[in-house]
């Protein structure tokens, strides 16, 4: 029997998480079977259980990891509203709209997450809470409650705007939705 170093197992796990994140965001939670998820990672189904106890555990881990990465991206921005506005412009861009596999898990999977099991919903809730906290901390001149309310409103508007833009078949109308969403986000930041 071949024994792998712990680094190999961690690298394999990371590969599964990355490929599963892309597949889940394009096919949905129910549309992504274990066989496809593992094939995307270049592995067999049997290798899955060396890393995860169930598909729900994998989905929860993917969601949590992707939201943590999103939180870290926002936290690493320069601490001013211009940097946050730049992040929002990128979030509401045609590139992000057209690349769900590489984008925000909320915009791609929110309905699926609402129907998922407790572990997936709890992983999502914890991750989105941290994003709200990071955004709220970047809103100067407001009480903590006001900043939190604005952060929640901003995040929900961004996710909804991106979802609507993705649903529209007309590219011009879709891009207009993105632009209007950005203008509305700017109003929230004032």
* Domains assigned to the chain: 54-189 (1.10.357.10)
Buried b (16+ CB within 10 A) or exposed e, 23-33: bbbebebeebe
Buried b (16+ CB within 10 A) or exposed e, 103-112: bbbbbbbbeb
Q: pTM score, two decimals? A: 0.90
Report how far apart, in Å, the C-alpha atoms of 129 and of each of 67, 68, 155, 158 are: 10, 10, 11, 15
**Region class of 153: left (phi > 0), else alpha (psi between -120 and 50), else beta:** alpha
What the block records as the tokens of 104 is 């925000």
Q: What percent of the chain has pLDDT over 70?
A: 97
Half-sphere exposure of 87 (CA within 13 A, CB side): 22
- pLDDT tens figures, 60-117: 999 999 999 999 999 999 999 999 999 999 999 999 999 999 999 999 999 999 999 9
Q: How far apart are CA 58 and CA 52, in angstroms?
A: 6
Nearest CA among 55, 23, 59, 57 for reference residue 39 = 23
Q: Using pLDDT thresholds of 50, 70 and 90, give the confidence band for residue 7.
A: confident
- pLDDT tens figures, 110-164: 999 999 999 999 999 999 999 999 999 999 899 999 999 999 999 999 999 999 9
Q: Using pLDDT thresholds of 50, 70 and 90, give the confidence band for residue 45.
A: confident
Q: Which pLDDT does position 31 carry in this prediction?
A: 83
**SS3 label, residue 142:** coil
| Least confident span in 1-10, 102-111, 153-162, 173-182 | 1-10
Angle at 165 between CA 163 and CA 171, to 5 degrees: 150
Q: Using pLDDT thresholds of 50, 70 and 90, give the confidence band for residue 3.
A: low
Q: How far apart are CA 92 and CA 85, in angstroms?
A: 10
The set of residues, in sequence order, having a beta carbon less than 8 Å from that of 19 and lying 6+ positions away, is 37, 40, 41
């Amino acid at each position: 029997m071949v024994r792998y170093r712990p680094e190999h197992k961690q690298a394999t796990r990371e590969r599964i998480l990355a490929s599963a994140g892309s597949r889940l965001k394009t096919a949905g939670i129910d549309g992504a079977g274990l066989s496809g998820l593992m094939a995307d990672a270049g592995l067999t189904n049997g290798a899955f259980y060396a890393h995860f106890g169930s598909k729900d555990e994998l989905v929860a881990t993917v969601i949590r990891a992707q939201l943590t990465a999103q939180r870290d991206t926002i936290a690493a921005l320069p601490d001013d509203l211009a940097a946050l506005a730049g992040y929002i412009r990128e979030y509401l861009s045609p590139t992000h709209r057209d690349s769900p596999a590489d984008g925000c898990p909320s915009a791609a999977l929110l309905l699926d997450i609402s129907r998922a099991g407790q572990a997936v919903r709890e992983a999502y809730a914890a991750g989105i809470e941290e994003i709200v906290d990071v955004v709220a901390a970047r809103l100067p001149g407001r009480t903590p409650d006001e900043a939190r309310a604005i952060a929640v409103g901003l995040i929900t508007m961004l996710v909804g705007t991106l979802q609507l833009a993705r649903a529209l078949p007309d590219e011009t109308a879709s891009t207009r939705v993105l632009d209007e969403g950005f203008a509305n986000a700017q109003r929230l930041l004032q």
